[in-house]
Amino acid sequence: MKKVVIGMSGGVDSSVAAIILQQQGYEVIGLFMRNWDSLADGEMNGPTTASGICPQEEDYNDAKAVCDKLGIPLYRKDFVKEYWEYVFTYFLEELKAGRTPNPDIMCNKYIKFDMFEQEARKLGADYIATGHYARIEDGHLLRGVDRNKDQTYFLSQVSKEQLKDVLFPIGDMEKKDVRKIAEEYDLITAKKKDSTGICFIGERNFKNFLKNYLPNQPGKVVNIETGEIVGEHIGLMNYTIGQRKGLNIGGFEDKMFVVGKDLKENILYICFGEENDYLISTSCLVNEINYLEEEKRKTCTAKFRYRQEDVPVELEWLENEVLVKYPQGVKSVTPGQACVFYDGEICLGGGIIKEVQKEGKKLWYL
| Domain ranges, ordered by start, for the chain | 3-206, 217-272, 279-362
pLDDT tens-place string over residues 148-160: 999 999 999 999 9
Q: Which helix (H) or strand (E) holds 16?
A: helix 12-23
Q: 364: pLDDT confidence band, cut at 50, 70 and 90?
A: confident
Residue 218 pLDDT > 70: yes
279-362 topology per CATH: Elongation Factor Tu (Ef-tu); domain 3 (2.40.30)
CA distances from 152 to 11, 97, 209 (A): 19, 26, 28
Q: 254: pLDDT confidence band, cut at 50, 70 and 90?
A: confident
Question: What is the mean predicted confidence (pLDDT) over 321-350?
Answer: 97
Question: What is the mean predicted confidence (pLDDT) over 305-333?
Answer: 96
Per-residue confidence (pLDDT) for residue 41, from 0 to 100: 45
Q: 201: pLDDT confidence band, cut at 50, 70 and 90?
A: low
Question: What is the mean predicted confidence (pLDDT) over 217-223?
Answer: 96
pTM of the model: 0.91
Q: 44: pLDDT confidence band, cut at 50, 70 and 90?
A: very low
As a whole number of angstroms, the distance between CA 192 and CA 189 comes to 5
* 3 state DSSP class of 277: helix
Q: Are 149 and 179 in contact (CB under 8 A)?
A: no
Percent of residues, the chain, with pLDDT higher than 90: 81
Catalytic residue set? 107, 199
Per-residue confidence (pLDDT) for residue 251, from 0 to 100: 81
Question: What is the mean predicted confidence (pLDDT) over 162-172?
Answer: 97
* 3 state DSSP class of 312: strand
In what side-by-side order are the strands of the sheet with 256-262? 229-233, 219-223, 267-272, 256-262
190: left (phi over 0), alpha (psi -120 to 50) or beta: alpha
Lowest mean pLDDT across 78-87, 195-204, 282-291, 313-322: 195-204
Residue 222 pLDDT > 80: yes
Which class does domain 217-272 fall in?
Answer: mainly beta
SS3 of 314-352? EEEECCCCEEEEEEEEEECCCCCCEEEEEECCEEEEEEE
CATH superfamily for 3-206 is: HUPs (3.40.50.620)
Q: Which residue has the higher pLDDT, 106 or 208?
A: 106
Q: Are 103 and 140 in contact (CB under 8 A)?
A: no
Q: For helices 12-23 and 175-184, give the axis angle rounded to 10 degrees.
A: 70
